[in-house]
Amino acid sequence: MKIEKDEITIRDFTETDLPLMFKWLTDKRVLEYYEGRDVRFTMDTLSAHFLEEIPDGFRMIIEYKKSPIGYAQAYQLSGELFDEYDYPDDGHIVFAMDQFIGEPKYWSKGIGSS
C-alpha cells in the first residue's frame, strides 16, 4: 500500500526499515511517547516484533519530502487487548492506531496532523 498527499507519503513497512526503527526506538525522546523511556530494544527484539504479521492490521512508514520520518500501525483489537486498552469487549469491532514521528527535528511542524 502507498498513499501520497502533498509532501507526505505513507508506505508499507519492510525489513529494510529495521535500522530506522532501531534508531528511533533507542532515542529516549521518541520512547517517551511510544513505549516509555525505560524500554530497551535490540535489533533482535525489533525484528521479532516488527516483522511479525499483524492479524487484521498493518505497519507503515511515514515519509516527508521522500525521507522516512515516522511509523504508524493499525490493528483490530482482540482478546486481552480490550482489557489492556480499557475497552469493553461488547461485540463491536474496534481498531487501535499507534503512530510517532521518529525524527525529533520534524516535531511541532504540523506534519503529524496533516
The domain limits of the chain are 2-106
Query: Tell me, what amino acid is at 33?
Result: Y
Q: 41-87, pLDDT tens digit by residue?
A: 899 998 998 898 888 899 999 999 999 999 999 998 888 888 888 88
pTM, whole model, 2 decimals?
A: 0.85
Average pLDDT over residues 93-111: 91
Residues 6+ apart with CB under 8 A from 95: 57, 74, 75, 76, 77
Least confident of 22-26, 36-40, 41-45, 46-50: 36-40
The pLDDT assigned to 2 comes to 93
- The span from the CA of 112 to the CA of 114, in Å, is 6
Looking from the CA of 36 toward its CB, the CA atoms found within 13 Å total: 2
Q: Which residues pair with 62 in a beta bridge?
A: 10, 70
Pick one of 3.40.605.10, 3.40.630.30, 3.40.50.720, 3.30.360.10 as the CATH number of 2-106. Answer: 3.40.630.30
